[in-house]
Amino acid sequence: MSRHLVSLDDIRSAASALQGVVTRTPILENADVNAMLGGRLLLKAENFQRTGAFKLRGAYYRILQLSRQDRARGTVSYSSGNHALGLAQAAKMLESSALVVMPHDADVGKMAAIRARGAEIVTFDRDTQNSADVVADIIARTGRVEVPPSAHAQVLAGAGTAALELLEDAPDLDVILVPCGGGGLTAATAVAMAAASPDTQVYAAEPALFDDTKRSLAAGRRLANPLGQRTICDAIMTPMPNDVTFPINRDLLAGGVTASDDDVCAAMRFAYEHFKIVAEPGAVVGLAAVLNGQIDVTGRTVATIITGGNIGTGRFAALIADATT
């Protein structure tokens, strides 16, 4: 039995429940890129997932486990975008409702897509308010059930199904790089690999100004990011590692890697030019860490999860226009 909140068996149970609900996303590989890097680079394309990101996996599995009464009460969560999209879609599919607490400066395109799926949005100021306090107040007033982006066993189990698919399709992985905000997908991936492929190293990949997990791993305790900073990787701008995912990541990760905003723009362009995909900034921090030299692919098989592709065409074009690769 796993000593962590979620186990490989939990992830396998989630995979069974999600079969036919979520998309089994492909692994992308380019022979020319492999020749350039001297090894194999694999991209798990969760930007092809329903709602455009991996988050549907955890949100749907969590709501699926709720009683009929709790589903009728509706759900609530904090999210900067992708979890909100997944939660809105899952609630709609399972005949529940969703209320999402979002930063007031969140992407307007994501907000529109969330509302289009029937969810309600409440905004807050990420520099002066705590999202957890806003969510707690809503729960107290409405009785809604929280479906957090990462800090719940069933959400982790659902997220981990992406890593399970990756391992099934590419069983000889040396390294996996996981874009890390709240650390849920990172933790679930680490759990899956520790149990099923213990020689595979798992790294958290973060924006350079939001490297709270990397710094926390080095310190052995949770450290926060300074207030007032910004990154183009809006999907993974979290204040600090949470107390559910960090103990798993502290125990199981090989370490952390980072990428500057310039690195991220270059990785977005690289993914577009060589793999023909549109990825949002936060989704390519793992790829960026390969391209900026933090992870050596030579003679190895390295995978990264492209966690989402929810970005407007104008912003995408602007970010890659001046990027150098």
CA distance 111 to 114: 5
Provide the pLDDT for residue 325: 61
d(CA 212, CA 219): 10
Residue 172's pLDDT is what?
A: 95
Amino acid at 171: P
Weakest-pLDDT range from 89-93, 172-176, 229-233, 289-293:
229-233
For the chain, counts of helices (H) and of strands (E): 14, 10
Per-residue exposure over 271-306, b if at least 16 CB sit within 10 Å of its own CB, e if not: bbebbebbbbbbbbbbbbbbbbebbebeebbbbbbb
- Please state the pTM of the whole predicted model: 0.94
CB 33 within 8 A of CB 41: yes
Predicted confidence at residue 1, as pLDDT, reads: 39
What value does the mean pLDDT take over residues 165-182?
97
d(CA 276, CA 28) in angstroms, rounded, equals 10
Measured between its terminal Cα atoms, the distance across the chain in Å is: 46
Query: What's the pLDDT score for residue 64?
Result: 98
Q: Is the pLDDT of residue 42 over 70?
A: yes
DSSP for 155-219, written as a single string: HHHHHHHHHHHHHHH----SEEEEE-SSSHHHHHHHHHHHHH-TT-EEEEEEEGGG-HHHHHHHH
**What angle in degrees, to the nearest 10, is found between the helix axes of 184-196 and 8-18?**
110
Burial group, residue 195, by CB count within 10 angstroms (0-12, 13-18, 19+): middle
The answer to whether 149 and 83 have CB atoms below 8 angstroms apart is: yes
Specify the CATH architecture of the domain 8-53+152-321. 3-Layer(aba) Sandwich (3.40)
pLDDT, residue 103, reads: 86
Residue 3 pLDDT exceeds 50: yes
- Residue 8: per-residue pLDDT: 97
* pLDDT exceeds cutoff 60 at 22: yes
Three-state SS annotation for 250-289: HHHCCEEEEECHHHHHHHHHHHHHHHCCCCCHHHHHHHHH
- Range with lowest mean pLDDT among 162-171, 222-231, 306-315: 222-231
What is the predicted pLDDT for the residue at 127?
78
Could you report the per-residue pLDDT of 150-161, keeping only the tens digit for each?
889 999 999 999
Q: CATH second-level architecture of 56-146?
A: 3-Layer(aba) Sandwich (3.40)
pLDDT at 2 over 70: no
Highest mean pLDDT among 3-7, 93-97, 102-106: 93-97
Q: For the segment 297-309, what is each residue's pLDDT rounded down to a tens digit?
A: 999 999 999 999 9
For residue 262, pLDDT beyond 60: yes
Which residues 6+ apart lie within 8 Å of 56 measured at CB? Answer: 22, 49, 50, 85, 86, 89, 90
Q: Report domain extents, the chain.
A: 8-53+152-321, 56-146
Res 142: pLDDT: 94
User: What's the mean pLDDT in 177-199?
Assistant: 97
- State the Cα–Cα distance between residues 233 and 237, nearest whole angstrom: 7
